[in-house]
Amino acid sequence: MEYFFKTENLTVGYDGKPIVNNIDVSIKKGQILSLIGPNGSGKSTILKSITKQLKVIDGVVFLSGSPINDINSRDMARRAAVVLTERPKPELMTCGDVVAIGRYPYTGMLGILSASDKEKINEALCLVNALDLKDRCFSEVSDGQLQRIMLARAICQEPEIIILDEPVSFLDIRYAVEILDILRRMASERGVTVIMSLHELNYAKRVSDRVMCVKDGYMLHLDTPEAVFTKEIISRLYDLSDGVYAELFGGL
Amino acid sequence: MKKGTAKRDIRYVRYLIVTLVLLLLFAALIALNIGIGSIKISLGDVLKAGTIEYDILWKVRLPRMVAGIILGGALALSGFLLQTFFNNPIASPFVLGISSGAKLVVALVMVFVLSKGSTVNSATMVLSAFVGAMLSMGFVLLIARRVKRASVLIISGVMIGYICSAITDFIITFASDESIVNLHHWSQGSFSGTSWGDVRVMAIVVLIASVFTFTLSKPIGAYQLGEQYAQSVGVNIKTFRIILVLLSSILCASVTAFAGPISFVGVAVPHLIKAFTRTSKPHIVIPLCFLGGAVFCLGCDLIARTVYAPVEMSISSVSSLFGAPIVIWIMARRVARD
């Protein structure tokens, strides 16, 4: 079985203090993995570690067979793109300028965009239905538009894997579904692997191929959405009483 | 689609207009700086060797003017780099106390060397200014590491500046009589008394640092989106940050070594350039900042040396008068926006 993304005995945390221990996960090319779990369980820490923003404490992360520590920063940037929770606040940049940063690993020394770079920027903007925002000032767009621009930025980096930290929090249902549909399409049509943390369980169920449950420093479960979204597992993951589960997720 | 292209064309027209206006101002200020002074000189005298006018021009006014151009550009770039580094539009070598740190070490070295009866060459001045700039920068970075709030950073910087200036004043007051006059003049900030030898040293240092800054346009552009996004597209953040600190300190040090501390150019010029061009694209902003800084300093120096001629004002008094209101404007706009 060929896995595109794989971790072996991965322990992540800050300043040598582990937050999540012994994660073993492997997903295939073009699959979507969602991380769910209570606030502060370490989902973001895991995402930061697999994108090399944070040094791993123990274990190895593999990207198509090679440990990420052996991949240089340019190659890493050509393979993995991120969408973070923090809202960037660049001064006087248009949405097109922001998306263009995605071409960074492909441009030359001075970062001049070629005709094909510009084409890729337009293509990415089209994919997220935001071509009309290209010349708008980035600091003036709404939350939903902002998230589409950030996704376009990641797409135009032409990555093999996109890693997103809570991509649909703060978005109303229309924008949230739109973002997740784009990711689903990227995964099935272009074989892009997706790893993201999600707070909204109904979305996680709808979009994921695999779901990872994180709690109390460990990965509790890793399975298909059908297997994970059961009363027992979800109640235990979020410490819910039976009544609450039925009330909230009766329809799941 | 067509509308979008038209909009982008307008952008380039705007860059072009800003550049042309700056070049016009630049040319006008050069002509004024040559002509105006205790002796009026016409542009025709520039090439008439043997006259008094020729001597004044080539030995006094021209080196001073070239120094204003080079150091003005250096100050504006140093400010731009610090604003990028701290992601704060008010950061600049003067506000963060980096100029004052450079001034302190230069004063120390000057007093020490002069008391031994020898003179200080310009390379030593630049080097001691660089050491001072790095020391102040070190303090600012330590504070920035502990507190994330931008306002605290700025206040700490201003305080570091006051402490360094106070110590410099102590040193100058206790220095021997003959060196006081020079030192006092220099510590207030002035381009006067620049020699061609000084110009050569500052030109080499500043031009190399400026060209290097321009080659960093690409990572600076990515860094504007935040450290984490920059890292994710392949910027080596640690190296990049060290280079930013070194470059801004070198640029600030060359200014302080030759002209003393000059206030607010580093904040005002990058801000005005961004406001007029309506972009923060480093490819556009970096060269225009250099040109804008040169124009700003040429203008301030012209005012400083002509308003009460033959008495000269310090250039900082003039640059503060124009620069400080711009800082208030930036802060007011920020508060209004947030």
Mean pLDDT in consecutive groups of 10 residues from the start of chain B, 338 residues: 64 94 96 85 75 84 94 96 90 91 90 77 88 93 83 88 90 70 71 88 95 96 94 94 94 92 91 92 96 96 87 87 87 71
Measure in Å the smallest separation between the Cα of A141 and chain B Cα atoms: 14
What is the DSSP secondary-structure string of A102-124?
GGGGGS-TT-PPPHHHHHHHHHH
Structural Rg of chain B based on CA atoms: 20
Give the structural domain span for B163. Answer: 63-337
Q: In this structure, is residue B51 part of a structural domain?
A: no
Question: HEC states along A204-243?
Answer: HHHHCCEEEEEECCEEEEEECHHHHCCHHHHHHHHCCCHH
Give residue B153's Cα distance to chain centre. Answer: 20
Where is A8: in which H helix or E strand? strand A5-14
- At B1 the pLDDT is 45
Q: In this structure, is residue B18 part of a structural domain?
A: no
At A129-146, the pLDDT tens digits run 999 999 999 999 999 999
**Contact (CB, 8 A) for B190 and B68:** no
For residue A158, the SS3 value is coil
Residue from the list B7, B224, B228 with its beta carbon closest to the beta carbon of A84: B228
Q: Whole-angstrom Cα distance, residue B157 to residue B178? A: 32
Residues 6+ apart with CB under 8 A from B3: none
For residue B194, the SS3 value is coil
CATH number at residue B197: 1.10.3470.10
- At B5 the pLDDT is 65
- Structural tokens at position B165: 């200036």
**Contact (CB, 8 A) for B231 and B237:** yes
Measure in Å the smallest separation between the Cα of A85 and chain B Cα atoms: 11
Q: In Å, how far are B26, B75, B297, B316 from B191, measured between CA atoms?
A: 17, 13, 10, 11
- At B236, phi and psi to the nearest 5? -80, 100
**Contact (CB, 8 A) for A20 and A46:** yes
For residue B1, the SS3 value is coil
Chain A residues contacting B, CB < 8 Å?
Answer: 51-53, 73-74, 76-78, 80-82, 84, 86, 88, 90-93, 97-98, 101-102, 104-105, 107, 109-112, 134-135, 153, 157
What is the DSSP secondary-structure string of B88-129?
-TT--TTTTTHHHHHHHHHHHHHHHHHHTT----HHHHHHHH
- Structural tokens at position B321: 């008068």
Q: In this structure, is residue B246 part of a structural domain?
A: yes
Cβ burial B106-143 (10 Å sphere, 16+ → b, else e)? bbbbbbebbeeeeebebeebbbbbbbbbbbbbebbbeb
Q: In this structure, is residue B88 part of a structural domain?
A: yes
**Contact (CB, 8 A) for A117 and A106:** yes
Q: In this structure, is residue B35 part of a structural domain?
A: no
- Structural tokens at position B113: 């060397």
For the purposes of burial, counting CB atoms within 10 Å of the CB of B177, is it exposed (0-12), middle (13-18) or buried (19 or more)? Answer: exposed
Which of B86, B217, B233 to mutate to test binding with chain A, by most A CBs within 10 Å of its CB? Answer: B233
User: Taking Cα atoms as reference points, which of A234, A170, A162, A242 lies closest to residue A204?
Assistant: A234
Residues 6+ apart with CB under 8 A from B246: none
Q: Under CATH, domain A5-89+161-249 is a member of which superfamily?
A: P-loop containing nucleotide triphosphate hydrolases (3.40.50.300)
- At A24 the pLDDT is 95
For residue B280, the SS3 value is coil
Whether the per-residue pLDDT at A193 is higher than 70: the answer is yes
**Contact (CB, 8 A) for B245 and B84:** no
Among all residues of chain A, which has the CA nearest to that of B236? A73
User: Taking Cα atoms as reference points, which of B65, B78, B71, B22 lies closest to residue B298?
Assistant: B65
Tokens 């000084």 correspond to: B198
Compute the average pLDDT of residues A53-69. 94
Contacts of B10 in chain A (CB under 8 A): none
Residue type at B333 in one-letter notation: R
Q: With a threshold of 0.80, does the pTM exceed it?
A: yes
For the purposes of burial, counting CB atoms within 10 Å of the CB of B11, is it exposed (0-12), middle (13-18) or buried (19 or more)? Answer: middle
Measure in Å the smallest separation between the Cα of B223 and chain A Cα atoms: 9
Contact state of A134 with B4 under an 8 Å Cβ cutoff:
yes
Cβ burial B224-240 (10 Å sphere, 16+ → b, else e)? bbbbbbbbbbbbeeeeb
**Contact (CB, 8 A) for A148 and A178:** yes
Q: Whole-angstrom Cα distance, residue B262 to residue B256? A: 8
Q: Please report how the helices B196-215 and B62-86 are oriented relative to each other, as an axis angle in degrees rounded to 10.
A: 30
Instruction: Name the domain count of chain B.
Output: 1
Residue from the list B7, B225, B279 with its beta carbon closest to the beta carbon of A92: B279
Q: How confident is the model at residue A246 (pLDDT cuts 50, 70, 90)?
A: confident
* DSSP annotation of B142: H
Among all residues of chain B, which has the CA nearest to that of A83? B229
Which of A68, A135, A155 to mutate to test binding with chain B, by most B CBs within 10 Å of its CB? Answer: A135
Contact state of A101 with B278 under an 8 Å Cβ cutoff:
no
Contacts of B330 in chain A (CB under 8 A): none
Q: Whole-angstrom Cα distance, residue B160 to residue B139? A: 8
- At B114 the pLDDT is 77
Compute the average pLDDT of residues A68-96. 93
For the purposes of burial, counting CB atoms within 10 Å of the CB of A228, is it exposed (0-12), middle (13-18) or buried (19 or more)? Answer: buried
Q: In this structure, is residue B27 part of a structural domain?
A: no
User: Taking Cα atoms as reference points, which of B194, B185, B203, B259 lies closest to residue B63?
Assistant: B194
Chain B residues contacting A, CB < 8 Å?
Answer: 4, 7-8, 89, 215, 217-218, 221-222, 224-226, 228-229, 231-236, 274, 278-281, 283
Contact state of A92 with B218 under an 8 Å Cβ cutoff:
no
Contacts of B8 in chain A (CB under 8 A): 135
Cβ burial B66-95 (10 Å sphere, 16+ → b, else e)? bbbbbbbbbbbbbbbbbbbbbebbbbbbbb
Contact state of B229 with A88 under an 8 Å Cβ cutoff:
yes
For the purposes of burial, counting CB atoms within 10 Å of the CB of B317, is it exposed (0-12), middle (13-18) or buried (19 or more)? Answer: middle
Q: Please report how the helices B98-115 and B237-259 are oriented relative to each other, as an axis angle in degrees rounded to 10.
A: 50
Interface ipTM: 0.93
